[in-house]
């Protein structure tokens, strides 16, 4: 397996993290985003949207971080990572959608401003981040894992990266006690690899 990624991308990290947790051997293939490598003709053959991550498994190409999570979970066979009962699978899918939508336009977008110089409205994206974090905090008050399971699922992995690094986007995580405990649970999993830190936002005492 080859994973096309960038070390500061939360989307790429969630794919890398799960491949590690699932024990699937893979080679990391850095993509130079600053040089626009993701927009070259060669890369666009892998993902026509010009985005990372992309997983290459033999002749199979899987673009999109959440698609990679699903593919990898199915590849290792039945497991707690993607339960097969319909109710739990639907709950996992719900949180994958949150990761692709509300997290992307909240915690992720806020971090894109400070780390990559994106031009989002800072106040708006930080507010979106907190709106989403409050819902996740409430969900985790009486849950060990976000889908209500006894063991982690790919939903936890999909949510982890951008929440863990939310302070880099000036999103203050203080006061989200259940989230703090959940983040530690993820970090204690065998095979965990962290998302590379940056000197941005509240991580260096800046921000709100």
Q: What is the pLDDT of residue 116?
A: 87
**Residue 80, domain member (yes or no):** no
Residue 96 and residue 149 in one domain = yes
Q: Is residue 72 within 8 Å of residue 144, measured between CB atoms? A: no
This prediction's pTM: 0.92
**Residue 147, domain member (yes or no):** yes
Q: Coil, strand or helix: which one is 119?
A: coil
Residue 99 and residue 171 in one domain = yes
Residue 121 and residue 93 in one domain = yes
Q: What is the pLDDT of residue 208?
A: 33
9: number of Cβ within 10 Å: 23
Domain that holds residue 132: 86-204
Contacts of 126 (CB under 8 A, 6+ apart): 106, 110, 169, 170, 171, 208
Residue 145 and residue 69 in one domain = no
pLDDT per residue of the chain (208 residues) written in tens, 0 to 9? 999 999 999 999 999 999 999 999 999 999 999 899 999 999 999 999 999 999 999 999 999 999 999 999 999 999 999 999 999 999 999 999 999 999 999 999 999 999 988 999 999 999 999 999 999 999 999 999 999 999 999 999 999 999 999 999 999 999 999 999 999 999 999 999 999 998 888 875 433 3
Residue 54 and residue 133 in one domain = no
CATH number of 149's domain? 1.20.1050.10
Q: Which of 56, 75, 94 is a domain's end point?
A: 75
Residue 91 and residue 39 in one domain = no
Residue appearing with tokens 């040089």: 35
Residue 138 and residue 198 in one domain = yes
Residue 96 and residue 198 in one domain = yes
Q: Which of 38, 56, 75 is a domain's end point?
A: 75
Residue 92 and residue 144 in one domain = yes
Residue 98 and residue 198 in one domain = yes
Residue 71 and residue 117 in one domain = no
CATH number of 55's domain? 3.40.30.10
Q: What is the pLDDT of residue 205?
A: 43
Q: What is the pLDDT of residue 65?
A: 97
| Exposure b/e, 43-69, CB count within 10 A at least 16 = b | beebbeebbbbbbbbeeeebbbbbbbb
Residue 39 and residue 112 in one domain = no
Q: What is the pLDDT of residue 196?
A: 92
Q: What is the pLDDT of residue 204?
A: 54
**Residue 171, domain member (yes or no):** yes
Domain count, the chain: 2
């Amino acid at each position: 397996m080859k994973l096309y990624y960038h070390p500061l991308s939360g989307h790429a990290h969630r794919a890398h993290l799960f491949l590690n947790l699932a024990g699937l051997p893979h080679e990391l293939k850095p993509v130079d985003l600053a040089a626009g490598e993701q927009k070259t003709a060669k890369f666009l053959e892998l993902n026509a949207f010009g985005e990372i991550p992309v997983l290459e498994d033999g002749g199979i190409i899987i673009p999109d971080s959440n698609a990679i999570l699903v593919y990898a979970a199915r590849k290792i066979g039945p497991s707690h990572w993607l339960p097969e009962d319909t109710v739990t699978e639907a709950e996992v899918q719900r949180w994958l959608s949150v990761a692709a939508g509300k997290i992307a336009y909240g915690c992720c977008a806020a971090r894109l401003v400070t780390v990559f110089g994106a031009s989002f409205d800072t106040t708006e994206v930080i507010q979106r981040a907190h709106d989403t974090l409050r819902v996740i905090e409430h969900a985790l008050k009486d849950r060990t894992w976000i889908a209500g399971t006894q063991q982690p699922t790919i939903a936890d992995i999909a949510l982890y990266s951008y929440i863990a690094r939310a302070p880099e986007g000036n999103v203050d995580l203080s006061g989200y006690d259940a989230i703090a405990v959940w983040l530690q649970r993820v970090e204690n999993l065998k095979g965990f690899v962290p998302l590379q830190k940056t000197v941005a936002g509240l991580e260096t005492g800046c921000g709100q």
